[in-house]
Structure 1
Amino acid sequence: MSASIETKPAAAQGSARMLVAAGIWVLLLLVPLWLPALGGYTDLATRALIYAIAASGLNLVLGYTGGLSFGHAAYFGLGAYGAGLCLIYIAPSLPLAILAGTVLGGIAGILVGPMAMKRKGIYFAMITIAFGQMFYFIAVRWNALTGGEDGLTGFSRVPLHLGGHAIHMGPVRFYYLVLAMFAVVMLVLWQILRSPLGHSFVAVRENTTRLRFLGVAVDKQIWVAFAISTFITALAGALNALLTGFASPDNLGWQLSGSFVVICVLGGMRSYWGPFLGAIIFIVAQDYLSSVTQNWMSFIGLIFVLAVLFFPQGLLGFIKGRARS
């Protein structure tokens, strides 16, 4: 009898989570209908989803393995440059551009991973900044290919060809393409985090010493998490380049990496939906504050400080804690 009583709250919580998730997806599907009524615009929602993808990739390292990376914007930027260069020099193909950007950033992450994994704590954060700045200066100096400080231009979203039909990617259609990519990323992350591999990532965060005594190759686990996260962040960068029609060296800079960290902390680093919620808060706040003041970054910093002080587990962690009590 007691066992059946204990399972009822768990079943109720599971049903509540499913209802909340279903509600989120319904709202996302209907964004082009209700967002303009609130004074927003579709590209704002598209940008929020792109940043949610990038932060979700970072969160795999930051939230689940405990590694603070301040260089993830490098892979975001490489994804943007990969997509733009593909459209300019290889083929005017939307899927190929997305694939090229994702692969370019992901391969860079695979190569950087073994060198970064040899450092822990603050040294890991510093070496990720160093590699990020290295890619930044390559983009600035390689003027003939990247456009240097002016950035890469001369490309735009091309129609998506399906079954002999050319689908022109206006703001609404591109939003749904990004939403589809977001859904794929969230599904992949859900499967990873529920698998033994995902549990090993959490174990690395909780007790690295014990795992080493058990014979687990901890550095390899972190490398795998880092590589997967860079592919996801590079995908976001490729989508961002297609959204703006521009790839800038700023897309590789440590400031953007810091923004991704802020997004994860705001929403909740150890939460599946945390980066998504943090991205919405960050992008909406950025869009509004930048329209009323040039010092909008100061207010973003204030929001971040208040979040750390009053919501140390992020806004989603705070909501979950209130729900349990």
Structure 2
Amino acid sequence: MSTALDTKPATRPAPSIGGREISAAIIWLALLFVPIWLPAVGGFTDLASRVLVYAMAATGLNLLLGYTGGLSFGHAAYFGLGAYGTGLFIIHVIPSMPLALIAGTLLGGIGGILVGPMVMKRKGIYFSMITIAFGQMFYFLAVRWNTVTGGEDGLTGFSRVPLHLGGETINLGPARFYYVVLALFAVVMLVVWQILRSPMGHAFVATRENTTRLRFLGVAVDKQVWVAFAISAFITALAGSLNAMLTAFASPDDLQWQLSGSFVVICVLGGMRSFWGPFLGAVIYIVAQDYLSSVTQNWMTYIGLIFVLSVLFFPQGLLGFIKGRARS
């Protein structure tokens, strides 16, 4: 006769490692050893840093575009504000790279916070147009304020500042700076991953899918868009700050709507509703841009052709196409 003492606790099967985890591990391992293998295939480390910078900016935009459903053509404004904020801090305040990155990120993020209430109630094409308008406003401010920004010539006179840790000075050559960018990229990806898994992230997706039902449930949809816009601006501003350190230059072009369009193209190429989509899109875009610009002056034509073909044959982006093939 069996009793309660005879029963054994049910054992749970050990969690299996899926293809998603394996793919992520391969990506991080490849990124970790970039300074070793990239020169062997004819690349250079600063190119990898640029890929990560643009991937970070596109990831910030993707939080708004892919997950919340707001198409912004003005996100270069926060990228540029981050770049100018970093450069101006080093020139006029203190030559400290960590503090300069914080200053640039705060400047761009606060810009997004201030613009957010003026765009959060707009939908569709009106949302896109007003973001362009604010982006161009920041652009013309940078062009006209010669005494501060350098005008059309851009902001120069600053460079990559060495790090001072424990009494030691660490010069940031291409490889070391790449690891700084990689570390911050990892932090951004972790933060975005946690946001998307949180109730706030689910509210972002619900805003994209059915705004009317969300309003009926009593959710402040406009505030959700504002929060997504602000977080997106902070991430994009951090990318712009790193780009200023990478190039030792801040240009009005960093605020132009054409760069905003490039971020949108990157998201669409990789898959704008995929977590790793912006990263894959940045790899394709930056590598293609670097190669094509070295062989032809009309490289933008070929970038446009790549984008058109991607939209026609991979409407969910390249990563969405790969996932679809894997399920079939």
Class of the TM-score when normalised by the shorter of the 2 chains: over 0.9
Deviations along 1:174-222, one digit per CA (max 9) or x if unpaired, are 0000000000000000100000000000000000000001110000000
- Can you give the 5+ residue segments of structure 2 that lack an aligned partner in the other structure? 1-11
Give, in angstroms, the shift of residue 90 of structure 1: 0.4
Give, in angstroms, the shift of residue 119 of structure 1: 1.0
Equivalent residue number for residue 175 of structure 1: 178
Counterpart code for 1:202 = V
Give, in angstroms, the shift of residue 256 of structure 1: 0.1
Equivalent residue number for residue 216 of structure 1: 219
Equivalent residue number for residue 94 of structure 1: 97
User: In 2, distance between residues paired with 1:227 and 1:66?
Assistant: 14
SS of 2:315's partner is coil
Structure whose alpha-carbon radius of gyration is higher: 2
Deviations along 1:251-298, one digit per CA (max 9) or x if unpaired, are 000000000000000000000000000000000000000000000000
1:115 aligns with 2:118: yes
Equivalent residue number for residue 9 of structure 2: none
State the 4+ residue runs in structure 1 displaced beyond 3 angstroms.
none
Task: Calculate the TM-score normalised by the size of structure 1.
Answer: 0.96
Deviations along 1:27-83, one digit per CA (max 9) or x if unpaired, are 000000000111000000000000000000000000001100000000000000000
Counterpart code for 1:254 = W
- Can you give the 5+ residue segments of structure 1 that lack an aligned partner in the other structure? 1-6
TM alignment of 1:229-268, pairs within 5 A: 229-268=232-271
Percent identity of paired positions between Structure 1 and Structure 2: 80
Equivalent residue number for residue 22 of structure 1: 25
Counterpart code for 2:289 = Q
Counterpart code for 2:167 = G
**In the alignment, which of 146, 149, 152 is matched to residue 146 of structure 1?**
149
Task: Calculate the TM-score normalised by the size of structure 2.
Answer: 0.95
Give, in angstroms, the shift of residue 110 of structure 1: 0.1
Q: Which has the higher helix share?
A: 1
SS of 1:279's partner is helix
Give, in angstroms, the shift of residue 16 of structure 1: 1.6
User: In 1, distance between residues paired with 2:48 and 2:291?
Assistant: 13
User: In 1, distance between residues paired with 2:313 and 2:69?
Assistant: 21
Give, in angstroms, the shift of residue 168 of structure 1: 0.4
Equivalent residue number for residue 324 of structure 1: 327
Equivalent residue number for residue 78 of structure 1: 81
Equivalent residue number for residue 3 of structure 1: none
Give, in angstroms, the shift of residue 19 of structure 1: 1.2
Q: How many residues align?
A: 318
Give, in angstroms, the shift of residue 15 of structure 1: 2.1
1:105 aligns with 2:108: yes
Equivalent residue number for residue 294 of structure 2: 291
Give, in angstroms, the shift of residue 20 of structure 1: 1.0
Counterpart code for 1:21 = A
Give, in angstroms, the shift of residue 133 of structure 1: 0.0
Equivalent residue number for residue 134 of structure 2: 131
Give, in angstroms, the shift of residue 161 of structure 1: 0.9
SS of 2:31's partner is helix
SS of 2:60's partner is helix
